[in-house]
């Protein structure tokens, strides 16, 4: 069996039973389990394929291959190959994310198929029960002596027979020293995957064309991929759809002609014997029509969103007319559009006034003069669009533009401690909905610095971040304009009446982690969010998590005199270092993410003032207790889906608990969190410590370690570089621990002190200044220094207790599970520690902060 770091079973060869004596990896690529007599194979991987079969392997009736999700994501994807019980070998699309078959797009059309055989000559064929070949799947015969071979159902839905030369001398056909696929089934999947259900080979609203290395997915004009990393999710419009009440659609929409293009099925109207111009105009006048297909026979097919099965090929004898919005491209066209609408409005108002009463005939000369003079004055002016910030597409809005867009800030979407958000519609952008955030801070002498910070935010570009579209710093106003998220905040999604399913919650948790990883490590300038909470996670049309308000922590400090350590964030999500005057790093976001992850897992707020049991009031406390007592099922009483997958949920709880460690240095990075959520990195994997222990005592007694919470694997090393950097590197060469630079030599003193010194023998660093859980004779513990107990007797990571000499001179022992949480009880402040109510310790800085807040 395969067990995770906690000893929980992840996978086991069920059919092998308990008689397994040994396991062997055969040269054929078959992994086998056998009993002591070696006479019977109890289990073999050849009987449980994933997406590939190898020479000498067979695929039996009722067995399947599932394509992976993407080229780098090995989970089950959108296509499957099945040898059915009726003898037919069939390629299906799946009802993703379910594994069940959806629509067949290739089959052998046989009724006697019994096995798919991949023989040593490289032939792949379907055989009957008596072993005779009834259908050749891949006729490409090359010896396994000269070529490595495999048949793989690739993530794009194509079954490919791959070959790889074993040596240069075996390249009889001048094939490169790389995997190549002489046989592909089907030859053109763009044509094959075209059914009444599903989006086609490339997803909804997309186009598929045949390339040299497989199908190429692209979006029509006016559309863009939902996820550039997963193009088969399909495409979405980049413009606001046509309004059925809108007059003169020709002013706002046009068509992109695409030759040799079709979208089979999904027609809602079909007209015969018409011209292309008639077809085009009919679709333009129809607000439901997104695409029209026209052929030389005069057929006009109209399709609504989402359209499916898009294909481009020279054999297609039809033309696609793709409707798109003309005014959505950039803000720069907004001036002309606004001008036209303003003129129309003036003329319309004048007409209404003139026709409303005979008395108004007296005003005719005056109205005529006003209308004509305004039109001519506008023509005389050169309309200068508001500038775009250098290096990005951020518009510098005027206050009047945003006032008009929000209908004088009428529809409020939300309100926070430092800003109010309103819904708006940009007239200059074809009615695009936006979120207009009016900040309470004022920009005066810091206008240039504010724009520099807005520039940093504007340069961010990630699918899990809300996009900043523009800003306004006119006068005393400080306003940011973001894209509008139709599904609101994560808070309303998690804590609403209906519980989101497990898959959605896991994807949201992963999306948030990826967004934070981008802010911390991948964007041009590091951004610490400082206020991660459900209200600042928004959901787009497809419930993809999008982080909002990133960068605002720094923006809102521009005109303030508070220090970098002034507390920011929301109570319950704030990391302990805010209260201790410690440096604020990206680890404050990691802490907040840990609390948020618990909320996502359990669909429960981090604090419930009204609870059946006081032990259940603080979610982090309760989750920790249940995890340690192996009672996580108590947190899932109303979630049968999660109870059935308790081992998977335990992994998420472990990650969350790791994130909310009190010491920021012990929390993982968001990169490690992301890798753990993706399953790329195991949680709590065993490894090696760089440590100090007593040399002459038989049982090794460790007194100090450098990497207690980040074990390294075999192949790791300690290195003193030529430029004076002393570091511990893992097996991949990444630095795990490095105490400083300028080091000339290192020495292990007999007192148990490990020191690093420069060429003048001055001590640069010593382990005595950085104790773990032990102090030794001659060693001292200074103010603001601590000892952390290990987790267990054999687990050297941070445990549950802390021994600290505080800055006020008090020597105190703490439980380290959580930052203290104070409650107002009978007008006396009490502090909840480890689930018990105890008298408050008034000297603690976090208590003072809570008292101030309460």
Query: What pLDDT shows up at residue 691?
Result: 93
3-state secondary structure of 458: helix
pLDDT at 609: 79
The predicted pLDDT at position 469 comes to 87
d(CA 223, CA 239): 8
Which stretch of 73-87, 215-229, 787-801 has the lowest confidence by average pLDDT?
787-801
The interaxial angle of helices 587-602 and 502-517, nearest 10 deg, is 170
**Pairwise CA distance, residues 361 & 382, whole Å:** 34
Q: What is the pLDDT of residue 355?
A: 38
Instruction: Give the domain CATH number at 462.
Output: 3.30.200.20
- pLDDT for 446: 53
Same domain, 286 and 300: yes
Q: Which of 202-211, 225-234, 790-799 has the lowest mean pLDDT?
A: 790-799
Maximum separation of any 2 CA atoms in the chain, in Å: 113
Tell me the angle at which helices 587-602 and 619-628 cross, rounded to the nearest 10 degrees. Answer: 70
- Owner of token pair 């979630």: 639
In a domain? residue 639: yes
- Of 469, 484, 499, the last residue of a domain is 484
**Residue 199: which pLDDT band, with cuts at 50, 70 and 90?**
confident
CB of 149 within 8 A of CB of 54?
yes
Please tell me the predicted confidence (pLDDT) of residue 463: 87
Counting DSSP H helices and E strands in the chain, the numbers are 15, 50
Per-residue pLDDT tens digits for 425-442: 987 766 789 999 888 754
Calpha distance 841→822 (Å, rounded)? 10
719 contacts: CB under 8 Å, gap ≥ 6: 725, 726, 727, 728, 729
Give the range among 99-113, 391-405, 510-524, 768-782 with minimum mean pLDDT: 391-405
Say if residue 248's pLDDT is above 70: no
How far CA 694 is from CA of 312, 691, 778, in Å, comes to: 73, 10, 16
Query: What's the pLDDT score for residue 846?
Result: 41
Averaged pLDDT of the chain:
80
Lowest-confidence region among 285-289, 354-358, 501-505: 354-358
Section 629-653 average pLDDT: 75
Report residue 564 as tokens. 């970098």
Q: Which residue has tokens 């005592």?
A: 697
Q: Is residue 849 part of a domain?
A: no
542, two tokens? 């497809």
Indicate the residue among 452, 484, 516 that finishes a domain.
484
Residue 640 falls within a domain, yes or no? Answer: yes
Measured CA distances, 169 to 117, 146, 172, 174 (Å): 28, 9, 7, 10
The residue among 611, 595, 589 whose CA lies nearest residue 653 is 595
Pairing of strands 115-118, 691-693: unpaired
**pLDDT tens readout for residues 31-72:** 999 888 776 788 999 999 999 999 999 999 999 999 999 888
Q: Of 94, 43, 38, which Cα lies nearest the Cα of 65?
A: 94
**Whether 531 is catalytic:** yes
Residues 708 and 737 in one domain: yes
Interval 205-221 mean pLDDT:
90
**Angstrom distance (rounded) from CA 467 to CA 484:** 9
Residues in the chain: 854
* Residue 821 confidence (pLDDT) above 50: no
Give me the pLDDT at residue 246, please: 67
Tell me the pTM: 0.43
Higher confidence at residue 283 or residue 12? 283
Are 588 and 577 contacting, i.e. CB atoms less than 8 angstroms apart?
Answer: yes
Q: For residue 686, what pLDDT is reported?
A: 60
Instruction: Name the token pair of 78.
Output: 């959108």
Q: Do 315 and 166 belong together in one domain?
A: no
Alpha carbon distance, N-terminus to C-terminus of the chain:
52
State residue 534's pLDDT score: 93
What mean pLDDT do residues 101-111 have?
A: 89
Q: What is the DSSP string of 271-334?
A: E-S--HHHHHHHHHH-TT--EEEEETT--EEEE-SSP---EE-TT--EEEEEEEETT-S-GGGH
- pLDDT band at residue 810 using 50, 70 and 90 as cut-offs: very high
Residue 271 belongs to domain spanning: 207-325
| CATH of residue 100 | 2.90.10.10
Would you state the pLDDT for residue 378? 39
Measured distance CA(154)–CA(91) in Å, rounded? 12
Cβ atoms of 599 and 573 closer than 8 Å: no
> Could you tell me if 508 and 635 lie in one domain?
yes
- 845 in a structural domain: no
With b meaning 16 or more CB within 10 Å and e meaning fewer, what string describes 539-548? bbeebbbbbb
* pLDDT, position 372: 38
Last residue of a domain, one of 642, 676, 710: 676
Report DSSP state, residue 519.
I
Whether 508 and 623 map to the same domain: the answer is yes
Task: Determine which one of 51, 156, 531, 639 is catalytic.
Answer: 531
Residue 769 has pLDDT above 50, yes or no: yes
Q: Tokens 């002489």 appear where? A: 182
pLDDT band for position 155 (50/70/90)? very high
646-659 and 587-602 helices cross at what angle (nearest 10)?
150
Report the C-alpha gap between 265 and 310 in whole angstroms: 10
Q: What is the pLDDT of residues 493-515, one digit of tens each?
A: 998 877 788 888 999 999 999 99
Residue 306 lies in a domain: yes
pLDDT above 50 for 518? yes
Is 87 domain-assigned? yes
**For residues 829 and 761, which has the higher predicted lDDT (pLDDT)?**
761
- Residue 552: its pLDDT value, please? 65
pLDDT at 327: 64
Task: Tell me: pLDDT of 95 over 60.
Answer: yes
Q: Are residues 355 and 238 in the same domain?
A: no
Q: Which residues contact 784 (CB under 8 A, 6 or more apart)?
A: 804, 805, 806, 807
Is the separation of the CB atoms in 436 and 405 below 8 Å?
yes
Whether the predicted pLDDT of 745 surpasses 50: yes
Average pLDDT estimate for 665-680: 85
What pLDDT score was predicted for residue 718?
A: 92
Q: How many CA atoms lie within 13 A of 786 on its CB side?
A: 19
Which CATH number is 605's domain given? 1.10.510.10
Query: Out of 125-129, 306-310, 457-461, 543-547, which region has the weakest mean confidence (pLDDT)?
Result: 457-461
Residue 669 lies in a domain: yes
Asked whether 780 and 770 are in contact (CB, 8 A), the reply is: no
Q: Does residue 354 share a domain with residue 467?
A: no
- Higher-scoring residue by pLDDT: 579, 309: 309
Q: How many domains does the chain have?
A: 6
- Residue with more model confidence, 853 or 300: 300
pLDDT at 450: 67
- Determine the 3-state secondary structure of 116 from DSSP: strand
Residues 345 and 406 in one domain: no
pLDDT in the model for residue 385: 42
Together in a domain, 539 and 594: yes
Residue 843 lies in a domain: no
Domain of 291, CATH number, reads 3.50.4.10
C-alpha to C-alpha distance for 383 and 405, rounded to whole angstroms: 20
- The model's confidence at residue 334, banded by pLDDT at 50, 70 and 90, is very low
Three-state secondary structure call for residue 768 = helix
Inform me whether the pLDDT recorded for 359 exceeds 80: no
In the three-class reduction of DSSP (H, G, I as helix; E, B as strand; rest coil), residue 267 is classed as: strand
Query: What are the structure tokens assigned to 7, written together?
Result: 């000893």
The C-alpha angle 27, 31, 35, rounded to 5 degrees, equals 115
CA angle (520 as vertex; 514, 526 as ends), nearest 5: 140
- How far is residue 244's CA from residue 663's CA, in Å, rounded to a whole number? 58
Scanning the structure block, which residue is given the tokens 């109890």? 42
Comparing 414 with 248, the larger pLDDT belongs to 414
Residues 311 and 367 in one domain: no
97 and 240 in a single domain? The answer is no
Judge contact between 57 and 49, C-beta under 8 A. Answer: yes
Side-chain half-sphere CA neighbours of 200 within 13 A = 31
Edge-to-edge strand order for the sheet containing 58-60? 58-60, 115-118, 124-127, 133-138
Q: Are residues 626 and 512 in the same domain?
A: yes
**Using the 8-state DSSP alphabet, how is residue 600 labeled?**
H
Q: Of 548, 553, 568, which Cα lies nearest the Cα of 435?
A: 548
Place of tokens 């289990």: 43
| Confidence (pLDDT) at 441 | 58
Question: If DSSP codes are grouped into helix, strand and coil, which group holds residue 799?
Answer: strand
């Amino acid at each position: 069996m395969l067990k995770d770091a906690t000893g929980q079973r992840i996978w086991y060869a069920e059919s092998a039973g308990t008689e397994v004596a040994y396991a062997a990896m055969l040269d054929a690529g078959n992994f086998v389990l056998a009993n002591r007599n070696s006479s019977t194979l109890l289990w073999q991987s050849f009987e449980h394929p994933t997406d590939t079969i190898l020479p000498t392997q067979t695929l039996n009736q009722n067995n399947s291959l599932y394509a992976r999700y993407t080229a780098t994501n090995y989970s089950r994807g959108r296509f499957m190959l099945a040898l059915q019980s009726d003898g037919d070998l069939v390629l299906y699309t799946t009802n993703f994310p379910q594994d069940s078959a959806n629509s067949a797009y290739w089959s052998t059309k046989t009724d006697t198929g019994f096995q798919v055989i991949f023989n040593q000559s490289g032939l792949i064929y379907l055989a009957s029960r008596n072993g005779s070949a009834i259908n050749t799947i891949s006729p490409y015969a090359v010896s396994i002596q000269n070529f490595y071979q495999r048949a793989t159902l690739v993530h794009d839905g194509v079954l490919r027979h791959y070959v790889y030369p074993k040596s240069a001398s075996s390249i009889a056909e001048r094939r490169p020293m790389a995997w190549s696929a002489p046989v592909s089934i089907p030859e053109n999947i763009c044509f094959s995957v075209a059914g009444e259900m599903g989006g086609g080979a490339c997803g909804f609203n997309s186009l598929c064309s045949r390339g040299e290395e497989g199908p190429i997915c692209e979006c029509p004009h006016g559309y863009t991929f939902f996820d550039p990393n997963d193009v088969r999710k399909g495409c979405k419009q980049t413009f606001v759809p046509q309004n059925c009440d809108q007059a003169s659609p020709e002013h706002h929409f046009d068509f992109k002609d695409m030759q040799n293009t079709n979208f089979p099925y999904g027609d809602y109207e079909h007209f015969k014997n018409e011209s292309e111009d008639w077809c085009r105009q009919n679709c333009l006048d129809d607000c439901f029509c997104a695409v029209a297909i026209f052929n030389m026979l005069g057929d006009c097919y109209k399709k609504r969103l989402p359209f499916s099965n898009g294909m481009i090929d020279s054999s297609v004898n039809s033309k696609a007319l793709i409707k798109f919005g003309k005014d959505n491209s950039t803000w720069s066209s907004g001036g002309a559009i606004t001008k036209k609408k303003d003129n129309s409005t003036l003329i319309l108002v004048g007409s209404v006034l003139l026709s409303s009463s005979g008395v108004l005939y007296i005003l005719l000369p005056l109205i005529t003069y006003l209308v004509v003079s305004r039109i001519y004055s506008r023509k005389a002016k050169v309309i200068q669009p508001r500038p775009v910030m250098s290096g990005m597409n951020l518009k510098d809005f005027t206050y009047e533009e945003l006032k008009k867009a929000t209908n004088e800030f009428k529809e409020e979407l939300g309100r926070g401690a430092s800003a109010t958000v309103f819904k708006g519609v940009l007239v200059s952008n074809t009615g695009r909905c936006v979120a207009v955030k009016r900040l309470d801070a004022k920009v005066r002498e810091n206008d240039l610095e504010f724009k520099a910070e807005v520039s940093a935010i504007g340069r961010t570009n990630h699918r899990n971040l809300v996009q900043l579209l523009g800003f306004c710093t006119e006068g005393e106003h400080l306003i940011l304009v973001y894209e509008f998220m139709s599904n609101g905040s994560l808070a309303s999604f998690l804590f609403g009446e209906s519980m989101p399913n497990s898959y959605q919650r896991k994807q949201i948790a992963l999306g948030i982690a990826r967004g934070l990883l981008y802010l911390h490590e991948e964007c041009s300038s590091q951004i610490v969010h400082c206020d991660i909470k459900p209200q600042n996670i928004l959901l787009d049309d497809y419930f993809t998590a999008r982080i909002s308000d990133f960068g605002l922590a720094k923006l809102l400090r521009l005109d303030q005199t508070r220090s970098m350590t002034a507390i920011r964030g929301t109570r319950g999500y704030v990391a302990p270092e805010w209260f201790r005057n410690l440096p604020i790093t990206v680890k404050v976001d990691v802490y907040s993410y840990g609390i948020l992850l618990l909320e996502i897992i359990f669909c429960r707020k981090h604090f419930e003032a009204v609870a059946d049991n006081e032990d259940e009031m603080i979610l982090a406390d309760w989750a920790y207790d249940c995890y340690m007592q192996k009672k996580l099922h108590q947190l899932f009483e109303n979630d049968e889906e999660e109870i059935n997958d308790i081992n998977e949920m335990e992994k998420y709880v472990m990650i969350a608990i790791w994130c909310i460690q009190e010491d920021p240095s012990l929390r993982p990075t968001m990169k490690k969190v992301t890798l753990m959520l993706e399953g790329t990195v195991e949680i709590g994997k065993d490894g090696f410590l760089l440590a100090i222990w007593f040399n002459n005592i038989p049982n090794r007694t460790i007194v100090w370690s450098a990497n207690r919470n980040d074990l390294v694997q075999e192949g790791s090393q300690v290195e003193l570089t030529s430029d004076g950097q002393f570091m511990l590197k893992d097996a991949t060469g990444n630095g795990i621990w490095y105490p400083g630079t300028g080091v000339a030599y290192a020495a292990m003193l007999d007192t148990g002190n490990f020191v690093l010194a420069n060429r003048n023998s001055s001590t640069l660093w010593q382990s005595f200044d950085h104790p773990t859980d032990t102090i030794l004779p001659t060693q001292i513990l200074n103010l603001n220094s601590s000892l952390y107990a290990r987790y267990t007797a054999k687990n050297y990571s941070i445990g549950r207790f802390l021994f600290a000499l505080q800055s006020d001179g008090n020597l105190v022992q703490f439980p380290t599970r959580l930052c203290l949480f104070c409650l107002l009880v009978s007008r006396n402040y009490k502090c909840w520690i480890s689930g018990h109510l105890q008298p408050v310790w008034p000297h603690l800085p976090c208590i003072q902060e809570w008292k101030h807040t309460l």
